[in-house]
Amino acid sequence: MALSKWGTLLLLAATSITLGCAGGTTLNVQNPAAPKSSQIAIAFQPSPPASLFVNGDAPITAVVNNDPTSSGVDWSLQCQNNANCGSLSTFHTDSGKATTYLPPPSLSSNTQSVTVFAFAAADHTKNIATSLTINAFAGFLKAGTYIVETTGVDASGLPYQRVAALVLDGKGGITGGEQTLNFMNPVTTQMASVNDAVTGGTYILGPDGRGTITINTADVNVGQQGVETFSLVALSSSRALLTKTDIFSPNLPLSNESSVGTMDLQTPGSQVTNGGYALVVRGVDFNTSPIALGGVLNIDGPQSISGSGSNFDMVINGLGSVISSLPPSGTLSPPDKFGTFQISLNANFFGSSQVNTFTAYVVDGSHLRLIETDGSAGVTAGIAIGQGSLTGTYSNFSGSYAFGIFGEDLSGSQSTLAAAGNFTVSGGSLSNGSIDETQSGLLMQVSDGFTATYTVDPSGRVDTGTSFTFTTPGNGTGPEFVMYMTGAGDPVLVLDNDTEPSLNGGFAGGIATGLAYPTTAGVSLAGQYGVSFTQNFNATEADATGQICASGSSVVCQGGSVDTFSGTVDQTVGFSPQGPNTLSATYQSSPVNGRLTGTISDVNFYNNPLSVAFYLIDSSHGFFVETDGGPDGANVGYLSFGYLSGRVPVCSGCP
């Protein structure tokens, strides 16, 4: 059989050659056999982790051997049931270089399995895989209905308010609920109040108590085309702090919302009972002027308010006085399946009849979250707390209190007034008072002592009138506080009409609402805390939540020193999600008159660090406020106001 050209060459190459040499020696030389083709191999070096937490990451490295082309490694991900697998920092690396795996932002359960594949780029038939189990702690939050309340602003500078009932399944899923929103409708460009069904959603927690919650609705005008995403930090198995943080997606516009709030487990079967409920709410009126309302509503009939034992107050930015209504009357609607009901009040401000309608979401029999839904008198939101057996019996006001209030100064812009302080009250006088207040729209900040007198109404209404006087003579008189007493163990609600004619050239003041808590003496800032805060940088609001560990004489955090704290926060800055970032602080070792001073730092602060004052309620709670925002301060026109609350770790050994 004839040989082909290539076959002939191969045959000749294998033929023995005989060489003639001196001495007649004959040498038989055989060409060496062709080497075996190299075998490409790939292996993980080092071995990848078998599991990681949902808010962690994992660098994964593969090494390719016997690849003469040095083509490197191709990567891919796979998971079941069309779940979000997470992401890789890159899908191609050089041999021996790592790609970083990032878990998905939410899980449909407490665990999820993801497979990571590494392929030799020169030959995809040479590949290896590793399975990662992603762990979350959604089960730390008890299953049940949670009441959410958030307040903030949208890009128009007007309020964005939310109260919602969310049904959590205890495994990372939201199975239903409803929510009420007040916001600038993008279609009509008018302030609107809407009620939407919650159709589903997910939530997760990481080992440090931080996590996310995503709410799905069918209303494309809210959130990101009906999807609302929040960062949260769990304080306990039934309570969390949260802030609005959108998700980045090329297919979704940002929601243009910045807000912060709370989430509380509803006590099953709770409903309001007859008796007094103190309330404060804040927002804008129908002219979009800042407004706040407060009072005591005495439910004294079957789902009705006769007016006896009730009162209702209003402050409007710029009017400079508290306006009181005639005793309001009204009705309560039957509750829906989430316990939500409507309160319709017939008030009489300025000598004319006015109807204010609030939707009330029940946390328990004594605590309600309120959002105004009449659409004509205004859009406000806030809280109501029951007075119980004390209804109508108040004659005295006493004790030591720490307070925090938030609102708008006379510039009219949202989120421009914040104050924190403390006082001792007895015998008709407020004494030993301290206050740190910032009015960022007016470039005004004051830190001073104060005194005041007050009167008490049997309904629990406490009024300082015009008696508030600063300790520094040049600061003159200060705000009028109207406070509404609640049941035993609950805070006092505060309505602030902030008129300060001697400050800032006679142009200082505003309105605010807040809380005053009874304080515990001799406490320190030490331990694990959740934190939430709002900031205003030249009319741009930023909001954040997170977790910190504070080191003290009895608690030393990892890497910390006494009288410092450090932790991680998730933020929205300029309506865009930022972080997670490190939040840290240093402060005095012991308070002076219940007041701690220090500095607080974060890379997202426009000027870093900030000077702040802390007012501790007890070892687990407190307020803080920025103190360097005046005309001569480091951060002119800036405002920061926050709240600290002790938290329980989500698992044994978790931070």
The one-letter amino acid code at 14 reads A
Q: State the residue range of the domain holding 339.
A: 275-390
Residue 550: CB atoms within 10 A of its CB come to 24
Between CA 427 and CA 453 the distance in angstroms is: 9
Listed residues 80, 100, 135: the one ending a domain: 135
Listed residues 502, 518, 534: the one ending a domain: 518
CA atoms within 13 A on the CB side of 329: 6
Same domain, residue pair 109 and 160:
no
Same domain, residue pair 85 and 143:
no
Same domain, residue pair 329 and 417:
no
Q: What pLDDT, on a 0 to 100 scale, did the predictor assign at position 4? A: 37
User: How many residues would you count in the chain?
Assistant: 655
Q: Is residue 20's pLDDT more than 60?
A: no
CATH number at residue 485: 2.40.160
Q: Is residue 649's pLDDT more than 60?
A: yes
Distances (CA, A) of 437 to 14, 31, 443, 508: 97, 94, 11, 11
Between CA 212 and CA 227 the distance in angstroms is: 13
Between CA 335 and CA 36 the distance in angstroms is: 81
Tokens at residue 75, please? 């990567």
Between CA 602 and CA 10 the distance in angstroms is: 74
Q: If pLDDT is split at 50, 70 and 90, which confidence band does 377 have?
A: confident
Q: What pLDDT, on a 0 to 100 scale, did the predictor assign at position 323? A: 93
Between CA 182 and CA 214 the distance in angstroms is: 19
Q: What pLDDT, on a 0 to 100 scale, did the predictor assign at position 243? A: 97
Tokens at residue 353, please? 């009849």
Three-state DSSP string of 130-157: EEEEEECCHHHCCCEEEEEEEEEEECCC
Q: Is residue 182's pLDDT more than 70?
A: yes
> Mind listing the pLDDT tens digit for each residue in 308-338?
999 999 999 878 789 999 999 999 999 999 9
Give mean pLDDT, residues 555-572.
88
Same domain, residue pair 69 and 47:
yes
Between CA 135 and CA 640 the distance in angstroms is: 35
Q: Is residue 545's pLDDT more than 60?
A: yes
Q: Is residue 499 part of a domain?
A: yes
Between CA 641 and CA 606 the distance in angstroms is: 15
Give 56 or 375, the one with higher predicted confidence.
Answer: 56
Q: What pLDDT, on a 0 to 100 scale, did the predictor assign at position 108? A: 66
Bond into 46 cis (ω within 30): yes
> Mind listing the pLDDT tens digit for each residue in 237-253?
999 999 999 988 888 88
Q: Which residues contact 190 (CB under 8 A, 6 or more apart)?
A: 184
| CB contact at 8 A, 512 and 498 | yes
Q: Which residues contact 312 (CB under 8 A, 6 or more apart)?
A: 293, 294, 295, 297, 324, 325, 327, 328, 345, 347
Q: Is residue 45 part of a domain?
A: yes
Q: What pLDDT, on a 0 to 100 scale, did the predictor assign at position 124? A: 96
For all residues of the chain together, what is the average pLDDT? Answer: 90
Q: What pLDDT, on a 0 to 100 scale, did the predictor assign at position 606? A: 79
pTM metric for this prediction? 0.86
Same domain, residue pair 113 and 214:
no
Give mean pLDDT, residues 567-576.
93
Number of H helices and E strands in the chain, helices first, is 1, 47
Give 386 or 559, the one with higher predicted confidence.
Answer: 386
Closest CA to 576 of 542, 602, 608, 607: 542
Q: Which residues contact 640 (CB under 8 A, 6 or more apart)?
A: 418, 438, 533, 534, 535, 536, 600, 610, 612, 624, 625, 626
Give mean pLDDT, residues 8-31.
35
Tokens at residue 350, please? 């300025």
Q: Is residue 3's pLDDT more than 50?
A: no
Q: Is residue 109's pLDDT more than 80?
A: no
Q: What pLDDT, on a 0 to 100 scale, did the predictor assign at position 38? A: 63
Same domain, residue pair 492 and 598:
no
> Mind listing the pLDDT tens digit for each residue in 445-476?
999 999 999 999 999 999 999 999 999 999 99
| CB contact at 8 A, 458 and 393 | yes
User: Residue 10 in 3-state DSSP?
Assistant: helix
Q: If pLDDT is split at 50, 70 and 90, which confidence band does 397 have?
A: very high
Q: If pLDDT is split at 50, 70 and 90, which confidence band does 11 have?
A: very low
Q: If pLDDT is split at 50, 70 and 90, which confidence band does 350 have?
A: confident
Q: Is residue 4 part of a domain?
A: no
| CB contact at 8 A, 224 and 160 | no
> Mind listing the pLDDT tens digit for each residue in 501-510?
899 888 899 9
Bond into 250 cis (ω within 30): no
Give mean pLDDT, residues 526-531.
95
Same domain, residue pair 176 and 238:
yes
Distances (CA, A) of 438 to 19, 528, 627, 629: 104, 28, 7, 6
> Mind listing the pLDDT tens digit for each residue in 283-299?
998 888 999 999 999 99
CATH number at residue 48: 2.60.40.10
Q: Is residue 447 part of a domain?
A: yes
| CB contact at 8 A, 558 and 566 | no
Same domain, residue pair 232 and 312:
no
Same domain, residue pair 66 and 106:
yes
Q: What pLDDT, on a 0 to 100 scale, did the predictor assign at position 9? A: 29
Q: Is residue 238 part of a domain?
A: yes
Give mean pLDDT, residues 613-625.
96
Q: If pLDDT is split at 50, 70 and 90, which confidence band does 37 have?
A: very low
Q: Is residue 378 part of a domain?
A: yes
Closest CA to 243 of 281, 211, 282, 291: 211
Between CA 92 and CA 95 the distance in angstroms is: 9
Distances (CA, A) of 513 to 182, 282, 403, 477, 482: 18, 7, 10, 19, 10
| CB contact at 8 A, 57 and 49 | no
Give mean pLDDT, residues 65-70.
95
Give 61 or 559, the one with higher predicted confidence.
Answer: 61
Q: If pLDDT is split at 50, 70 and 90, which confidence band does 23 have?
A: very low
Q: What pLDDT, on a 0 to 100 scale, did the predictor assign at position 96? A: 97
Into how many domains does the chain fold?
A: 4
Q: Is residue 151's pLDDT more than 70?
A: yes
How do strand 239-244 and strand 227-236 relate by DSSP bridges? Answer: antiparallel
Q: Which residues contact 544 (CB under 8 A, 6 or more apart)?
A: 243, 260, 531, 532, 533, 535, 569, 570, 571, 572, 579, 583
Q: What pLDDT, on a 0 to 100 scale, did the predictor assign at position 31? A: 47
Q: Is residue 179 part of a domain?
A: yes
Q: Is residue 333 part of a domain?
A: yes
Give 523 or 196, the one with higher predicted confidence.
Answer: 196
Listed residues 495, 518, 541: the one ending a domain: 518
Same domain, residue pair 528 and 640:
yes
Closest CA to 212 of 138, 109, 134, 132: 138
CATH number at residue 637: 2.40.128.120
Same domain, residue pair 524 and 636:
yes
Three-state DSSP string of 96-128: CCEEEEECCCCCCCCEEEEEEEEEECCEEEEEE
User: Residue 572 in 3-state DSSP?
Assistant: strand
Give mean pLDDT, residues 601-626.
93
Q: Is residue 15's pLDDT more than 80?
A: no
Q: Work out the percent of the chain whose per-residue pLDDT is above 90.
A: 73
Give mean pLDDT, residues 210-229.
94
Between CA 442 and CA 444 the distance in angstroms is: 5
In sequence order, what DSSP letters do the residues of 406-443 get, joined into one string?
EEEETT--TT-EEEEEEEEEETTEEEEEEEEEEEGGGT
The one-letter amino acid code at 123 reads D
Same domain, residue pair 533 and 545:
yes
Q: What pLDDT, on a 0 to 100 scale, did the predictor assign at position 540? A: 83
Q: Is residue 24's pLDDT more than 50?
A: no
